Amino acid sequence: MLAFAYSPLYFFETWLLAFMLCRWIKACIGDKYQKPIKIFIYVLFIFAALAMPIGFLLPVSKAKNAFQHYGSIWLGVLMYAGFPTLCYLGFCLVWRIHKHIKGSTESLERPKKVAITAATVSIIFVFVICIYGMFHATDTRVTEYTIEVEKKDGKLDSLNAVLIADTHMGYNIGCKEMQRMADKINECNPDIVFIAGDIFDNSYDALDDPEKLIEIYKSIKTKYGIYACYGNHDVDEPVLAGFTFDYSAKKESDPRMDDFLERAGIKLLMDEGELIADSFYVYGRPDLAKPGRGIEDRKTPEEIMKEVPDGYPVIILDHEPDEIKALSAAGADVALCGHTHDGQIFPANLLVRLVYDNSYGYKKIGDTDSIVTSGVGLFGPFMRVGTISEICNIKIKFTP
């Protein structure tokens, strides 16, 4: 249980931040009002730290959703406050070691002023970046791509498609964000919409208003419909601070999730393909890590392509972009993925590039056009820094 293993570090960092903040205030204003200020800060930080575990333990309710949401904000604050705190402690340690080695009797006044200035800058930095990250988190943009796909059969010369992924509807993402997404999709006037997994955030009960969300999806206007595959979070399992619990039971979607998609007019493809407009195939893969109900081992790229008649362009929906090279080798024309969030918050967006052949955006891999979206929603911290929330408007030209 990684969530429990990391909990001492989580609470220690919370205490350390409260302690350092109290010391900074004391250094700035002296002992005046120290006791009420210290009580207020510690109570505030204790509440912030306990928000997520309280939300995890509460029964299904609006209070549970609220605690989970505010807990995810605190998780982001801890991530960005941790580094400057460590730098400050390192500065204090180096100064004291220097004094001890040199046997110096120099006053601490000079380093104290430096420390206060550095702490002030750090506090402003953390405050600004966290506020920016929260406001930027759901500021959904439209990213445009144009690709060419060779065709032998099929009637269409072009296709105006929209790709979305990682909506993570639940504690952080609700009707307001989904309505904004639907409006932007309709502005693109798409022929078809693809959803590359992680539609839900591990819990159907976390949806703020399922019926309204269904109506929002039904308001999306397309010529050929909406097609989706599931991702690793489209399963019914508890999540705490971004960590899932690895129970022995097989991870499957809540039946209400399947019913939600059907009622919303979304065609879920579970290791199966469908011919669209007698012109191209869409194939939806189960998730690599958690394939879901009724599937033990998902089909290989070679098995997928054997099922598709020759001559038709093939568009693959695969939540995790782990097997793009294999899909390319098997002959897939287009691979559409999500999962990575492009790292979501800096510097994770730099680290995620080391993991995948294509962690974000467009990349030609072999003869396959791959597009990985950073997604609409969020997972873990309610912040985006250095990345964007997006829908992808993909203009596909079918050429002889």
Mean pLDDT, rounded, for 184-197: 97
The lowest-confidence range among 92-96, 194-198, 201-205 is: 92-96
For the chain, residues classed under CATH 3.60.21.10 are 140-399
User: For a pLDDT cut of 70, what percent of the chain falls above it?
Assistant: 92
Task: Fill in the amino acid letter for 330.
Answer: A
pLDDT at 124 over 70: yes
CA dihedral 294, 298, 302, 304 (to 10 degrees): 50
Q: pLDDT-derived band of residue 384, with 50, 70 and 90 as boundaries?
A: very high
Residue of 195, 324, 322 whose CA lies nearest to 261? 195
pLDDT at 240 over 90: no
Name the percent of the chain in helix, strand, coil, to the closest 5: 45, 20, 35
- Where residue 103 falls (left for φ over 0; alpha for ψ -120 to 50; beta otherwise) is left
Give the pLDDT score at 41.
Answer: 93
d(CA 330, CA 333): 9
Q: Are 325 and 361 in contact (CB under 8 A)?
A: no
Average pLDDT along the chain = 89
The predicted structure's pLDDT at residue 399:
87
Burial letters 86-113, b for 16+ CB under 10 A, else e: eebeeeeeebeeeeeeeeeeeeeeebee
Q: What's the pLDDT at 24? A: 85
pLDDT at site 242: 64
Residue 398 phi, psi dihedral angles, 5° rounding: -90, 115
DSSP-based three-state secondary structure for 317: strand
Q: What is the mean pLDDT of residues 367-374?
A: 97
C-beta separation of 164 from 193 below 8 A: yes
DSSP letter assigned to residue 334? E
Which tokens hold the place of 289?
Answer: 């890590």
d(CA 198, CA 205): 15
CATH of the domain spanning 140-399: 3.60.21.10
Which residues lie closer than 8 Å to 356 by C-beta, 6 or more apart?
Answer: 321, 322, 340, 372
Nearest in space to 202 (alpha carbons), one of 148, 241, 175: 241
Q: What residues have CB less than 8 Å from 246, skipping those under 6 apart?
A: none
CA distance 320 to 324: 9
Residue 2: which pLDDT band, with cuts at 50, 70 and 90? low
Query: Which is higher by pLDDT, 190 or 37?
Result: 190
What lies within 8 Å, CB to CB, of 50 at 6+ separation is: none
245 — pLDDT class (breaks 50, 70, 90): low
pLDDT > 80? residue 198: yes
Q: What element of type H or E holds 365?
A: strand 361-365
Tokens encoding 68: 């989970």
Please report the pLDDT score of residue 356 as a whole number: 93
* Whether residue 84 has a cis bond before it, omega within 30° of 0: no
Judged against a pLDDT cut of 80, whether residue 195 lies above it is answered with: yes
Residue type, 318: D
- Count CB atoms within 10 A of the CB of residue 225: 15
